[in-house]
Amino acid sequence: MLEIAQELKNLLLVATEQAFPDVVNLVKAYGKPLDLHLTIASKPEFGDFQVNGTFTLAKPLGKSPHQIATALLNVLEGNSAFSKLCEKPVVAGPGFINITLKGECLQKEAYKALLDSRLGIPKVSEGGGESQIHSLPIIVDFSSPNIAKDMHVGHLRSTLIGDCLARILEFRGYKVLRLNHVGDWGTQFGMLITHLKEVAPAALTNPDVVDLGDLVTFYREAKSRFDNDPIFQRASREEVVKLQSGELAARQAWQLLCDQSRKEFQTIYDRLNIRLTERGESFYNPYLEDVITALDNLNLLVTDAGARCVFLEGIKGKNDTALPVIIQKSDGGFNYSTTDLAAIRYRFGVIPEGDGANRVIYVTDAGQSNHFAGIFQIARRAGWIPAGGRLEHVPFGLVQGPDGKKLKTRAGDTVRLKDLLDEAVERAAIDLRKRLLDEGRQESETFIEKVAFTIGIAAVKYADLSQNRITNYQFNFDRMLSLNGNTAPYLLYVVVRIAGILRKNDVSINLTSNALCFTEPQEWALLRQILKFDLIIIEVEQELLPNRLCMYLFELSQLFNRFYDQVPVLKATETEIRISRLALCRLTADTLKLGLNLLGIPTLERM
Ligand code: ARG
């Protein structure tokens, strides 16, 4: 209904100007463009759309929202283009306008959707005038675990949210760079190499001699020595300097360690079916000096206690003093912020060989909000953001255990992602075997394995994505694997249910526009929801909130189940009616499949 929404917006603008000839000038005085705020109706009983803009117009026009709404209605009712699309609009509450589309208009849209594999979602490249901007890449910086450290549930969240946003942007036709900004540089390597030199020296030169297995354990040992032993600490620092100055042995050791971690990370990405281009912190090493020079030339650098910093504007620290971002430490070393500034320069193409992107999206936990606010401000003040360029931090909350505390194993350790995914799949297999037994079904081991894997991974992904990302969420296997509620298994089951119906009857053949005919309220409610899909995708693209898509798909599934349970489909006697109902089944399945696919979740035909 995207096109219809656009048409309604235009009609509303024209109507407003007709009802209030000087409205544009009056609104301009408030520094805002005229906007009637047409949104999807917040409740089905309000119709399809609602207009909220009467409230913002009240002041400039010097009239009550109700008066404005009534005046608009009078004009709209006389407009033939409007009455072709909509039923008689109504003023609701203190001045909203509720708009309901006509049945024939919805039927036409349904027919269009049946023939459109994109289900109404336009490609930006088809967008005309703005296509130049649209051809510039968008960078999604996500996942980004740290070498030799745990890849934890926070990285899982970043991985799933980032992948979903990338999928939606890709589907919209943007060129997306999926960058894995892995922490592959810095003090952790000094400790690790120094420690390994003592306990497993061969591992630093030849990967085949010693199996480093889980580097995380070595890292923990090294860290504890670093924290308690000044001699070890000094040796580690020296090792970092060697690495940064390019000493061969140190470089080689670093390379081996990175390869080791990379292998571990890759097994997780493979299981989740997630594509990423690794471009770690070390990549920006050659560009760090330039950050200092550039900031210095702009007179933004201040030396404070030996460190070179930029003091932030408008972001205050303790005691109301300006907050510094350290760009170069007193020992000459660079840090996380320096790398991120070099990355911004590279990504926006301040550095000629860079990416030339015009939008960069960072998906990390909310704990890094201040970090990003700081470096974004510095980039802006330094003039590194191109015209129309955007830097966006997409923050998310913590993943908690069922007890509401930080997610831990029973023994109190950090949960390893590999174990977590294994457990989800194992539990899905147990549930499935039990269900097969209850239903008296015989299935092959290959079938059980494939279905359990799909359900298990889908459950973990969906549980994460269906939460408003800003809030913390509780990780709960039982809840996420349940066949009831807002869960992946519930949605997957609807797809399976429809696949079963369509196996018996395929409606793709012989469908002509006038063959569609809907009679029952359950059908209309379902169709209205189906047709909102394109609007929802555009909303998610703008607000970067995957949970909106999840909620939409959940509501769609509920409406489908109500329709299918209450309205005869295969048993409908009239052909025209049966075909229309089967068409609704197909549209529901197509929408669910595409929607789940954009969440990174593949669907099944049987489960
Ligand atoms: N490695 C970081 C972490 O584990 C995340 C990096 C996010 N991206 C960035 N450009 N800073 O928290």
Q: What is the pLDDT of residues 182-191, one digit of tens each?
A: 999 888 889 9
Domain 282-396 listed as CATH 3.40.50.620: yes
What the block records as the tokens of 366 is 């909310």
Q: Whose CA is nearest to atom 4 of ligand 1?
A: 145
| DSSP 8-state code for residue 406 | B
- Expressed in angstroms and rounded, the spacing between residue 582 Cα and the centre of ligand 1 is 48
pLDDT at 412 over 80: no
Would you say the CB of residue 181 lies under 6 angstroms from ligand 1? yes
> What is the 183 CA–ligand 1 centroid distance (Å)?
7
Q: Are 187 and 284 in contact (CB under 8 A)?
A: no
**Residue 143 Cβ contacting ligand 1 at under 6 Å:** no
pLDDT at position 131 is 57
Compute the distance between CA of residue 340 and CA of residue 284 in angstroms, rounded to an integer: 9
On the 0-12 / 13-18 / 19+ scale of CB atoms within 10 A, 87 is middle
Look at ligand 1, atom 5, and give the residue with the nearest C-alpha. Answer: 144
Q: Is the shortest distance between the CB of 60 and ligand 1 below 6 Å?
A: no
Task: Compute the distance from residue 182 Cα to the ligand 1 centre, in Å.
Answer: 7
From the centroid of its chain, how far is CA 90? 36
CATH number of 144-184+186-279: 3.40.50.620
Residue 183, ligand 1, Cβ within 6 A: yes
95 Cβ closer than 6 Å to some ligand 1 atom: no
Render pLDDT for 291-308 as a digit per residue (tens, 0 to 9): 999 999 999 999 998 999
From ligand 1's centre to the CA of 323, what distance in Å? 21
Does residue 141 line the site of ligand 1, with CB under 6 A? Answer: yes
pLDDT at 129: 52
**362 C-beta closer than 6 A to ligand 1:** yes
Integer Cα distance of 346 and 284 in angstroms: 8
Give 216 Cα–ligand 1 centroid separation in angstroms: 18
Which residue, judged by its Cα, is nearest atom 8 of ligand 1? 181
Q: Does residue 184 have its Cβ closer than 6 Å to ligand 1? A: no
What average pLDDT does the segment 68-84 reach?
93
Instruction: State which ligand 1 atom lies nearest to the alpha carbon of 340.
Output: 10
- Packing angle of the helix pair 248-272, 230-244 (nearest 10 deg): 90
Whole-angstrom distance, CA of residue 595 vs CA of residue 551:
11
The residues, any chain, with a CB within 8 Å of residue 325's CB and separated by 6 or more, are 309, 310, 312, 337, 374, 375, 378
Separation CA 445–CA 563 (nearest Å): 34
The pLDDT of residue 586 is 94
Q: Is 149 in the pocket of ligand 1 (CB under 6 A)?
A: no
Spacing, Cα 181 to ligand 1 middle (Å) = 6
Distance 59 CA to ligand 1 centre (A): 45
* pLDDT of amino acid 168: 98
User: Which alpha helices (DSSP H) does 469-545 contain, by range?
Assistant: 477-481, 488-504, 521-531, 533-543
pLDDT for the residue 241: 85
State both tokens at 205.
């030169």
Strand partners, 40: 49
Confidence check: pLDDT of 128 > 60: no
* pLDDT per residue as tens digits for the range 16-49: 999 888 887 777 777 778 888 999 998 888 999 9
pLDDT the model gives residue 33: 81
CATH topology of domain 417-598: Isoleucyl-tRNA Synthetase; Domain 1 (1.10.730)
Burial of residue 572 (CB within 10 Å: 0-12, 13-18, 19+) is: middle
Q: CA–CA separation, 391 vs 393, rounded Å?
A: 7
Q: What is the pLDDT of residue 118?
A: 96
From the CA of 155, give the closest atom in ligand 1. 4
Residue ranges, comma separated, of all CATH 3.40.50.620 domains in the chain are: 144-184+186-279, 282-396
Distance CA 273, CA 542 (A): 25
340 lines ligand 1 (CB under 6 A): yes
Whole-angstrom Cα distance, residue 495 to residue 492? 5
Question: CB of 364 closer than 6 A to ligand 1?
Answer: yes
- The CATH H-level superfamily of 2-101 is Arginyl tRNA synthetase N-terminal domain (3.30.1360.70)
Q: What is the pLDDT of residue 408?
A: 82
Pocket residue to mutate for ligand 1, from 181, 278, 284, 362, most atoms within 8 A of Cβ: 181
Q: How confident is the model at residue 173 (pLDDT cuts 50, 70, 90)?
A: very high
Q: Where in the chain is the domain with CATH 3.30.1360.70?
A: 2-101
Top pLDDT among 332 and 545 is at 545
How far does the centroid of ligand 1 lie from the alpha carbon of residue 158, in Å?
A: 10
* Ligand 1: nearest atom to the Cα of 182: 1
How far apart CA 236 and CA 69 sit, in angstroms, is 71
Q: Whose CA is nearest to atom 6 of ligand 1?
A: 144
Residue 126 pLDDT more than 60?
no
